[in-house]
Amino acid sequence: MTRSVMLGAATALALVGGGVADAAAPVSGAKYDFKNWDTCQLDKVYDPVTDLGTCMTVVVRDGTMRVGSLNVQIADGSLMIAGGVSQPDPTHPTNQVFVPAANDGKFGVYSKSISVPGGALGTGSSEDFGPTAIQATVEAVALPSVQPYTLGVELPVRLKLTNPLLGNNCYIGSASNPIRLSLALQDAGAAQWISDTVPGVPGGVWPQATHKATNFAVPGATGCGLFGSLNWAVNQRAGLPSGGAGNSLSTTSSVYNAAGWELL
């Protein structure tokens, strides 16, 4: 039996027997943070005739996600949504279009990979490293909807799981069947000027805005292991597919906002 086959078997067994894991999840690489408004395509966001359009960046500071039987802690700066919101029809100001920071296929959603606590074994922090460690990365599959009026965020995503044995094509959710996160504002909290912390940058920020999404459906895994041979193990480990009951995402984010005219 080759080493990879042994590890594969071990991983499959571990995934099956993992159960729920709770732990702080380290984020890989430098965390995302707000620097300036160069992430806003002002020429597409701001309408000089109506004077409307706003630039927005959301940086998730903290959070927890429960999907099936899996609990993941979301680390500071592991997720950022950057872009702006245009109002193409001033007579219907609530018709808004999110304009991503760049046309790079990421839909304005940038994510650092997060270690799934307990890894494949679901046992402890030692599983954050080594062959059974699993990294999860949020990938948007379509443009999010960022609502400047309500500070709500609609986010269609898939979760990419990375592990030497799961391969490079292991996902929970897909472009055709994404996890639809509808993050409703719980409390915006007090706002302040961005320039209070980033000198010279216009606009305001709600530094501790809380959002929550609940009862979203999570489809089963696809593409995990050779020809999807470990889909069942991932599903077993994470309790997927999940119809929605009990799934939740709670976040605390810094929401940055500047009117287009302030950036001219």
Of the pair 68, 260, the CB lying nearest other proteins is at 260
Applying CB under 8 A, does 145 fall inside the site for other proteins? no
Applying CB under 8 A, does 258 fall inside the site for other proteins? yes
C-alpha to C-alpha distance for 192 and 201, rounded to whole angstroms? 12
Q: Are 55 and 82 in contact (CB under 8 A)?
A: no
Applying CB under 8 A, does 117 fall inside the site for other proteins? no
Is the CA virtual torsion 130, 248, 110, 78 positive or negative?
negative
Contacting residue, 142, 188, 198, 217, with other proteins by CB under 8 A: 188
Contacting residue, 55, 70, 141, 157, with other proteins by CB under 8 A: 55
| Per-residue contact string for residues 13-32; x = within reach of other proteins by CB under 8 A | --------------------
Of the pair 126, 195, the CB lying nearest other proteins is at 195
The window from 2-10, 131-139, 169-177, 185-193 that contacts other proteins (CB under 8 A) reads 185-193
Closest CA to 256 of 208, 207, 205: 205
Q: Are 133 and 113 in contact (CB under 8 A)?
A: no
- Residue 62: in which H helix or E strand, if any? strand 54-67
Could you say which residues in the range 191-220 bind other proteins, by CB under 8 A? 191-193, 196, 203-206
Applying CB under 8 A, does 59 fall inside the site for other proteins? no
Q: Which residues pair with 81 in a beta bridge?
A: 58, 109
Within 8 A by CB and 6+ apart from 215, the residues are 244, 245, 246, 247, 248
| Count of residues touching other proteins (by CB under 8 A) | 35
Within 8 A by CB and 6+ apart from 170, the residues are 160, 161, 162, 163, 221, 222, 223, 224, 225, 230, 234
Applying CB under 8 A, does 261 fall inside the site for other proteins? yes
Of the pair 76, 262, the CB lying nearest other proteins is at 262
Binding-site ranges for other proteins (CB under 8 A): 46, 50-55, 85, 87, 90, 93-94, 147-151, 185, 188-193, 196, 203-206, 257-262
